[in-house]
Structure 1
Amino acid sequence: GYQLAQSLIERGHKVSFITNNYQGHRSGLRVMANGMKMYYLNQLPVLQGDVAFLSFFHCLPLVKQILVREQIDIVHGHQSTSVLSHCVMMAAKSLGLKTVFTEHSLYSYNDFTGIHLNKLIKWSFRDLDAAICVSHACKDNFVLRAKVDPHQTFTIPNAVDSNRFTPDPSIREAEIKKSGNPDTINIVFISRLQYRKGVDLLLEIIPKVVAQFENVNFIIGGDGSGMADLKALVEKHNLYNRIEILGGLPHTKVRDVLCRGHIFLNTSLTESFCIAILEAACCGLLVVSTDVGGVPEVLPKHMAYLTKPNVKSILRQLARAIINVKKLPCDTFYNELAEIYNWR
Structure 2
Amino acid sequence: MPYSIAMVSDFFFPQPGGVESHIYQLSSKLVDRGHKVVIITHAYGGRNGIRYLTNGLKVYHVPFYVVYRETTFPTVFSFFPIFRNIIIREQIDIVHGHGSLSNLCHEAILHARTMGLRTVFTDHSLFGFADAASILTNKLLKFTLSDVDHVICVSHTCKENTVLRAALDPLMVSVIPNAIQAENFRPLNYDHRVKKASNEFQINSIPRRVGQDDIITIVVVSRLFYNKGTDLLIAVIPPILASDPNVRFVIAGSGPMAIDLEQMLERRVLQDRVELLGPVRHEEVRDVMVRGHIYLHPSLTEAFGTVIVEAASCGLYVVCTQVGGIPEVLPSEMTQFAKPEEDDLVAATLRAISALRNGKVHPQRFHDQVKAMYSWTDVARRTERVYHGITGAISEQEFYGFADEYDGEWSATRSRAGIQNFALIDRLKRYYGCGIWAGKLFCLCVVVDFLLFVFLEFWFPRAGIDIAKNWPKKDPTEKKSTHSNKQHGRLKTRRHRSRVESDDNSHG
Matches of 1:276 and 1:312 in 2, distance apart?
23
Alignment of 1:174-189 (within 5 A): 183-189=214-220
Q: 2:59 aligns with which of 23, 38, 41?
A: 38
Matches of 1:282 and 1:45 in 2, distance apart?
35
* 1:35-58 CA-partner distances (Å, limit 9, x unpaired): 2221111226999962212xx322
1:77 is aligned to 97
Structure 1 residue 286, shift from structure 2 partner: 0.1
* 1:261-297 CA-partner distances (Å, limit 9, x unpaired): 0000011111111111111111000000000000000
Contact 1:197 1:268 in 2 (8 A): yes
* 1:52-111 CA-partner distances (Å, limit 9, x unpaired): 12xx32221111121122121111100121111112112211121111100000111121
Cα 1:310/1:96, change in 2 over 3 Å: same
Q: 1:100 aligns with which of 112, 115, 120?
A: 120
2:477 is aligned to none
Structure 1 residue 10, shift from structure 2 partner: 1.5
Tell me the TM-score normalized by structure 1: 0.91
2:242 is aligned to 211
1:222 alignment partner AA: G
Cα 1:217/1:156, change in 2 over 3 Å: same
1:288 corresponds to 2:319: yes
Structure 1 residue 323, shift from structure 2 partner: 1.0
Contact 1:80 1:103 in 2 (8 A): yes
1:246 alignment partner AA: L
1:338 corresponds to 2:358: no
SS of aligned partner of 2:72: coil
Q: 1:239 aligns with which of 252, 270, 283?
A: 270
Contact 2:65 2:73 in 1 (8 A): no
2:36 is aligned to 14
1:165 alignment partner AA: F
Alignment of 1:127-276 (within 5 A): 127-169=147-189, 183-276=214-307
2:139 alignment partner AA: K
SS of aligned partner of 1:58: coil
Cα 1:15/1:329, change in 2 over 3 Å: same
1:38 alignment partner AA: V
Which consecutive residues of structure 2, in runs of 5 or more, have no partner in the other structure?
Answer: 1-22, 191-205, 378-508
Superposed CA RMSD:
2.5
1:279 is aligned to 310
2:415 is aligned to none
Matches of 1:186 and 1:295 in 2, distance apart?
22
The farther-off stretch of 64-73 and 39-48 is 39-48
Matches of 2:53 and 2:241 in 1, distance apart?
47
1:118 alignment partner AA: N
Matches of 1:272 and 1:150 in 2, distance apart?
17
Contact 1:273 1:293 in 2 (8 A): yes
Which consecutive residues of structure 1, in runs of 5 or more, have no partner in the other structure?
Answer: none
Cα 1:153/1:202, change in 2 over 3 Å: same
Structure 1 residue 329, shift from structure 2 partner: 1.8
Cα 1:32/1:45, change in 2 over 3 Å: closer
Structure 1 residue 182, shift from structure 2 partner: 6.0
1:310 corresponds to 2:341: yes
* 1:19-46 CA-partner distances (Å, limit 9, x unpaired): 11122x2122223222222111122699
SS of aligned partner of 1:29: strand
1:27 alignment partner AA: N
SS of aligned partner of 2:309: helix
1:5 is aligned to 27
Contact 1:161 1:342 in 2 (8 A): yes
Matches of 2:226 and 2:252 in 1, distance apart?
15
Q: 1:59 aligns with which of 58, 79, 91?
A: 79
1:29 is aligned to 50
Matches of 1:90 and 1:106 in 2, distance apart?
22
Contact 2:120 2:152 in 1 (8 A): yes
SS of aligned partner of 1:57: coil
Matches of 1:196 and 1:81 in 2, distance apart?
14
Cα 1:315/1:11, change in 2 over 3 Å: same
SS of aligned partner of 2:231: helix
Matches of 2:65 and 2:269 in 1, distance apart?
49
* 1:295-330 CA-partner distances (Å, limit 9, x unpaired): 000111110011111122112211110011252221
Matches of 1:278 and 1:15 in 2, distance apart?
26
Structure 1 residue 218, shift from structure 2 partner: 0.9
Q: What's the % identity of the aligned pairs? A: 44
Tell me which stretches of 4 or more aligned residues in structure 1 moved more than 4 Å. 44-49
